[in-house]
Structure 1
């Protein structure tokens, strides 16, 4: 068995790893590159392999940086089956249709502005391409081994990152490869903790927060409550860039759990994302995957997804109407890194107001508006216009969907024999710190995966 690294090898987006086993080629994830415009243009580049030569695709979870180029893979010749955990399969359609809609809109907008003689812009893929993609998806439950090709089996274990997120086990040639996907912290609301892995011959592990520790979750929740109180006293609005899958649902969970303590009922809460509204329906259909605490909260009132002051804004007109509110609004909108989506429209109307509070609850990649704001930028460019950033900003690391250095070390450390390890899905600073800690603690050589690198299992 051999592993070829193509993406998310030195960066945190564009997950793409190829496995050769038992005479077959299997792709692990096919994610979109996200970040700066320059980085995102790389999504148009040819794959470093022949898509038509692949026999199967295995998906770890439904975030766009892990699935965002799957329809493009089909456009370029892939004809195999796509294997995903059951909830992931449900979420994939929603995420990819939204991605296709954005691509189509951007191409249409660009073509309206193009000069005579300039080539027509073509979207990366269309909604029709997504429907063709979904015809190839074969859902698989957790903890079930399936032979996906002669001599190649896979199993999904809970990763605790988002609903349906999986640690992928690949069995072939009497060897076992383990791909962590993205690992969530222990105690993440709604989700079960990442499953322990008994053994492996090679581990590919994410390293997003390999160089830092998150705040204590209890302390984080207290901080969120203080931010809401401060924002109410300041007379402004609260803007929360959040991915439609994961953090949006967790925030609603906390609002329900601390409904009385935080006086949440005085706010108007907007989940400003057509996609997030559809995602809520998927969560409702998969409550069997919830942890025990979430099951208890769901039985109480108010239900997190049906708060009496929650509005799911689907139309653009409803979204724009939110900006007429000068105070008292909590707006959860995509994208999570503030590099696209409706959150940018709310930034345009609110960033210049000192009474506005912006809360970052997830990783902000290099080159994104979110990253620039976290780093203290006084001005940001949104839709071609410079916007002064006077709003108060808060980074709440304890709500991250990714586990921290301690969690990554603990998860790897419980694998028998401490097998060879390759770090993916992390910037070099984070990977180097994590590699040093693991190497010193377990005496194992840790590889930092690079595009074009191959490892033998």
Structure 2
């Protein structure tokens, strides 16, 4: 085997499960991400199954960002005996324990002693790294490896990883780049991604390698139109959303809409034990009904130094994108059920953001049971709905003729509420963004490995990359592992 070399333990068959091993020599390697494969074909408890590969010689785990499909197998990695450093950006170091604690409680045990022991181990291993600074991972004789994290624009804390690698016997170092997940332009909170200055080998995601995004420029206007309709109909807007990333983008844009409509108060109000008493119904309330999303939103609020200039400007103007007065957080299940029953029985307009994003579980299901049959209400999808999920069934009813019924927890419900799919909220770069990243540095990346995508997306991206290389007159080898 010629070094550096690669092994892929996930993220090659689909858009989930990213886990890539960079071999520096026969006994030394780095692991980039340790994600969980997700989807209807994955068995329950997969995150706690044996890790499935030899962890001997792994010097460090480097995390690009904290979505479960990039970190969900860390419990299995720790169970296999890994005790090396977990290197990640400073925001990711704050978010990772929140995400993995939630997964641990749901999948293994909610016993406080076990949870605390698990989190204590995790915290000992996490090493926060600042962006744009080199960090030495290994230096041994003629061999060395340093990494540098750069903003990826996908999620707060997301990064792509530059690895400067020198192997024994080589005259010069190699620059190997792992893209992680790259963000689309126009994220309201994050600074845009910039391509690497140099890459000899690029391991590139290909989620949307076969398409171009549309609708990002006017997505807030479409959301505002939905809010106007809810106010007119005295209906509730249900937004199924994932706790990390999408929820925070939505809150940021909703605050701006309410601010421009003079519906938002200037200062946050004190929390109240009864969420219904905390609501000022003269102004449109925004109900965040997800304990994990609340924890992550609080972390986003405290990590404001990593926001982009526009978002930081709002703070300097005295606005609170994640703490405005109409934002009502619902924590306990009892309070959740009380809010559901109240909204069902009254004609009060409201916006509800609840998990999970595909309506396959979580608190959004109770809202749907209460409101699916009432055309005053509306459900807005801002994310991908996997085939076979309740979210996909509801989304398919948009514009459908005739009766559509949905099975939720063994009961059939007629879908009569309004359904809207709002494009423009994808957190992934499209084909143009991926090509600009790959070819936008010094113009030459001799070797590209395409991962994290369906076969059709990889093939389309590979063809377009080769065509771009020919047009530029540069040498390029594109591989699909």
What TM-score, normalized to structure 1?
A: 0.87
- The residue number in structure 1 matching 2:478 is 446
Aligned equivalent of 1:115: none
Distance apart, 1:238 and its partner CA: 1.1
Q: 1:375 to 1:176 in 2, by over 3 A?
A: farther
- If you compute each CA radius of gyration, which structure gives the higher value, 1 or 2? 2
C-alpha change, 1:353 and 1:205, in structure 2 (3 Å) is farther
Deviation, structure 1 residue 297: 1.7
Aligned counterpart for 1:419 among listed residues 446, 454, 461: 446
Q: Relative to 1, partners in 2 of residues 1:134 and 1:169: Cα closer, same or farther, differing over 3 Å?
A: same
Contact 2:59 2:137 (C-alpha < 8 Å) held by counterparts: no
Change beyond 3 A, Cα 1:185–1:348: same
Quote the residue 1:156 is aligned against. Answer: 149
Structure 2 match to 1:321:
338
Partner residue, 1:289:
306
Partner of 2:135: 146
Deviations 1:342-394 (A, max 9, x none): 22222222233333322222233444433343344944443344444333322
Instruction: Identify if the C-alpha distance between structure 1 residues 236 and 403 changes in structure 2 by more than 3 Å, giving closer, same or farther.
Output: same
Aligned positions of 1:259-278 closer than 5 A? 259-262=258-261, 264-265=263-264, 266-278=283-295
Query: Alpha-carbon deviations, 1:51-70, whole Å to 9, x = none?
Result: 34433110001111111111
1:349 has 2:349 as partner: no
- Residue of structure 2 in register with 1:35 after alignment: 39
Partner of 2:275: none
Deviation (angstroms), 1:182: 1.0
Contact map agreement 1:358 1:392 (CA 8 A) in 2: yes
Residues 196-234 of structure 1 show CA distances to partners (whole Å, capped at 9, x for unaligned) of 211111111122222222223232111111122223333
User: SS at 2:437's partner residue?
Assistant: helix
Deviations 1:92-129 (A, max 9, x none): 01111111122147x99xxxxxxxxxxxxxxxx95643
Structure 1: 4+ residue segments shifted above 6 A: none
Matched position secondary structure for 1:78:
coil
C-alpha distance after superposition, 1:415-451 (max 9, x if no partner)? 32133212222222322222222222224443233xx
Deviation at 1:300, TM superposition (A): 3.0
Report the counterpart of residue 167 of structure 1 in structure 2: 160
Which one is further off, 249-258 or 415-424?
415-424
With normalisation by structure 2, the TM-score equals 0.83
Rounded to whole Å, the distance in 2 between the matches of 1:331 and 1:60 is 30
Is 2:333 the counterpart of 1:330? no
Alignment RMSD (CA, Å) = 2.4
Structure 1 CA distance for aligned equivalents of residues 55 and 313 of structure 2: 46
Q: How far is the alpha carbon of 1:407 from its aligned partner? A: 1.5
Q: Which runs of 5+ in 2 are unaligned?
A: 167-172, 265-282, 399-403, 471-475
Provide the C-alpha distance between the structure 1 equivalents of 2:227 and 2:162, rounded to a whole number of angstroms.
42
Structure 2 counterpart of 1:136: 125
Q: How many residues align?
A: 432
Tell me the secondary structure at the aligned position of residue 304 of structure 1.
coil
Q: 1:255 to 1:83 in 2, by over 3 A?
A: same
After the TM superposition, which residues 75-94 of structure 1 pair with which residues of structure 2 at under 5 Å, given as runs?
75-94=79-98
Which residue is 1:403 aligned to? 429
CA offset digits 1:14-63 (Å, max 9, x no partner): 11111111441211111122222645554454333123443311000111
Distance 1:400 1:414, change over 3 A: same
Q: In structure 1, how many angstroms separate the alpha carbons of the residues matched to 2:156 and 2:354?
A: 19
User: What secondary structure sits across from 1:306 in the alignment?
Assistant: coil
- Against the structure 1 CA distance between its residues 355 and 37, is the aligned structure 2 distance closer, same or farther, given a 3 Å change threshold? farther
CA distance in 1, matches of 2:423, 2:44: 25
